[in-house]
Structure 1
Amino acid sequence: MFEILDYLGKFHPVIIHLPIGALYLTFCLVLLEKFFKNSYTIPIRFGLLFSFVFAVLACLLGYFHSLGGEYSEDILDKHMWLGISTAFSIAVLLWAYKNSNYQKYFVPLFVFAIILLSITGYYGGSITYGKDYLKIPEFNEEVKIVKLDSINLYTQVIHPILDSKCVKCHNQNKLKGGLILDSKNSILKGGESGEILIAFKPASSH
C-alpha cells in the first residue's frame, strides 16, 4: 500500500502547478472585471472551482509524497499547513464570490490568498532546491589562481562543487537517501546505505 501512495505522491509536483496557474489567471480576470467593468462571472467561478479541486488534490498527493520521510519535518509541516490553508482560502473565495453580501470582501480575500499561495510556493521551492534557492548569484566574481599547497582542498574546492551540484537534494531539509552533503562531518557520516567516503580507501568509497 505504501508503494502505491508513494508512487501517487510523485505526481504532486505536476498537479500543484495547475491550481497555481489557474488562481493567478483568475485573479487577473477579477482585476479586469473590477477596473474595466467587464463581466467574467462564469470564467471566474470556473477558475476558482478548478483551483480549489486541484489544490485539494495537490494537498492529498503532497501528503502521500511526504510519507517517504526524505524531508525535514519542520519545513515540510510549514509547507503542508500553508498548502491546506491556501486550499481553504480558495473555498472561501468561491463562497464569497457567489454570495452578493460578501462581494466587497472578495478582492481583499483574493489578495490574501495570492500572498498565502506565494509563501506556500516559497517553502515548496525550499524543500526542492534548498533554502537559498532565491539567493541572487554573484556575477563577475574574480577568479583567483592559487597554488594547490596553499589552499584548504575541501573548503575551497570540494565544498563549492558539492554545494552547486549535490546539496539541493542532500541537505537538512531534503534528506534524499538519508544523505546530507552540506558539511564534512555529514559526508563522513554517510546515509541509509552506510558510509560513502572511507578515508584512504578510494576503492571502497562511492
Structure 2
Amino acid sequence: MYKFLIFSLLCLFSFTFVYSHEAHKEIEKNESIQEIIPTQDQPTTIQFGGRPQSWTQWIGSFHFIFLHFPIALIAMTAISEFLFAWYNRPIFDYAARFMLVSAAILAIPTALLGLIYSYTATYTGLLAEFVWWHMWAGISTAIFAIIVAFMRERYGTTKLYYTCLILLFLLVNITGFLGGGMTFGPYHMHPPL
C-alpha cells in the first residue's frame, strides 16, 4: 500500500513540473524588461518580466502549480462517490478513496506554499479582503480534507461522511473563487453587460 502511495505521489509531482503552465499574468515580449526610475527613497532595480524578486517569492509561486490538484481531486471524489452510490461498482469506491487521500496529502503543501506566497504579495482594498478570506478558507480546506479522509478510512461511507464531503466540495470552491478574484480581479465571475 505504501509503495503504491509513494509511487503515485512521485508520478503526481513529476507531472506537476512537466505540465505547469500558469499564464495568469502574461507579459508581452516587448515588456519583458521594465526599469523603475529611481527616486531618493527607491534604489534602481531592474525587473525581468514576472521573475521572482526573492527566494521566498519563488518558493511561494509553486502554490499556483499545486493548487489545481486538491481542487480537481476533491471535485472528482464527490463525482466518484455519486457514481458509486448510483452504480454500486467498486471501481468508483476505490477511485474516490484514492483521490480523497491524495487531495488531503496535497492540500498541505498547497496551503503552506500559499502562506509563503502571501507574505511576498501586496494587495490593498477589496483584494486585501480576498487575500484574508482566501487564506483562512484554504487553511480550513486543507484541515477539513484531512478530517474527511480520516473519517472515510475510520468509519466508511456514512451519512456524516457524505455530508462532510459536500461541505468540503463547497469549501474548496469558495476558496477557489476567492483565489480567482485575487488573480483575475474581484468581479471575474460577473456576467458581461
Task: Give the shorter-chain TM-score range.
Answer: 0.5 to 0.7
- 1:64 pairs with 2:116: yes
Counterpart among 78, 103, 121 of residue 27 in structure 1 = 78
Cα distance, 1:102 vs structure 2: 6.8
Match of 2:94 in 1: 42
In structure 1, C-alpha distance between the alignment counterparts of 2:158 and 2:142, rounded to whole Å: 20
Cα distance, 1:38 vs structure 2: 1.6
- 1:80 pairs with 2:132: no
Taking the TM superposition and a 5 Å limit, the aligned residue runs for 1:1-206 are 3-39=54-90, 40-72=92-124, 73-100=128-155, 103-138=158-193
Listed as ranges, the gaps of 5+ residues in structure 2 are 1-52
Alpha carbon RMSD of aligned pairs, Å?
1.7
Listed as ranges, the gaps of 5+ residues in structure 1 are 139-206
The amino acid of 1:69's aligned partner reads: A
Q: How has the CA–CA distance of structure 1 residues 58 and 26 changed in structure 2, closer, same or farther, with 3 Å as cutoff?
A: same
TM (norm. structure 1) is: 0.62
In structure 1, C-alpha distance between the alignment counterparts of 2:174 and 2:183, rounded to whole Å: 14
Structure having greater relative contact order (Cα 8 Å, sep ≥ 6): 2
What is the percentage of aligned positions where both structures have the same residue? Answer: 26
Q: Extract structure 1 runs of 4+ deviating beyond 4 A.
A: none
The amino acid of 1:3's aligned partner reads: S
Deviations 1:147-172 (A, max 9, x none): xxxxxxxxxxxxxxxxxxxxxxxxxx
Is the 1:96–1:103 Cα contact (8 Å) retained in structure 2? no
Cα distance, 1:101 vs structure 2: 6.8
TM (norm. structure 2) is: 0.66
Q: Which has the larger radius of gyration?
A: 1
In structure 1, C-alpha distance between the alignment counterparts of 2:129 and 2:87, rounded to whole Å: 44
Cα distance, 1:29 vs structure 2: 0.8
Judging by fraction of residues, say which structure has more strand: 2
